[in-house]
Amino acid sequence: MAEASCKIAASRVNRFSIVTGGEPWIAMLTEYVASIGFSGRLASVRAVNTTGAQIAAEPEAHLSALISACLSAVHDDGAEAVILGGAGLIGLASRVSGHVPVPVIDCLNATLEVTESVIRRAGVGLTNRNRSGVVGTTGLGTQLARLLSSETQ
The residues spanned by each domain of the chain are: 2-112
How many Cβ atoms are within 10 Å of 68's Cβ, its own excluded?
14
Do 50 and 21 meet the contact criterion of CB atoms below 8 Å apart? yes
How many Cβ atoms are within 10 Å of 22's Cβ, its own excluded?
18
Q: Which pLDDT belongs to residue 134? A: 57
How many Cβ atoms are within 10 Å of 38's Cβ, its own excluded?
16
Q: Which pLDDT belongs to residue 153? A: 42
Q: Read off the pLDDT band of 61 (50, 70, 90).
A: very high
> What is the b/e burial string over 114-129, where b = at least 16 CB atoms within 10 angstroms of the residue's CB?
beeeeeeeeeeeeeee
Q: Read off the pLDDT band of 144 (50, 70, 90).
A: confident
pLDDT at residue 89 tops 80: yes
Residues 14-37 have a mean pLDDT of 96
Residues 56-83 have a mean pLDDT of 97
The DSSP code for 20 is E
Q: Which pLDDT belongs to residue 136? A: 64
Cα 149 off chain centre by: 21
Q: Which pLDDT belongs to residue 24? A: 92
pLDDT at residue 71 tops 70: yes
Q: Give the residue, 145 or 32, on which the prediction is more confident.
A: 32
* Pairing relationship of beta strands 81-84 and 104-106 according to DSSP bridges: parallel
What's the CA gap between 104 and 150, in Å, rounded?
28
pLDDT at residue 130 tops 90: no
With respect to CATH, is domain 2-112 assigned 2.40.50.140?
A: no
Q: Give the residue, 132 or 3, on which the prediction is more confident.
A: 3
pTM of the model: 0.80
Q: Which pLDDT belongs to residue 152? A: 43
- For the chain, list the strands marked E by DSSP: 16-21, 42-48, 81-84, 104-106
Cα 54 off chain centre by: 17
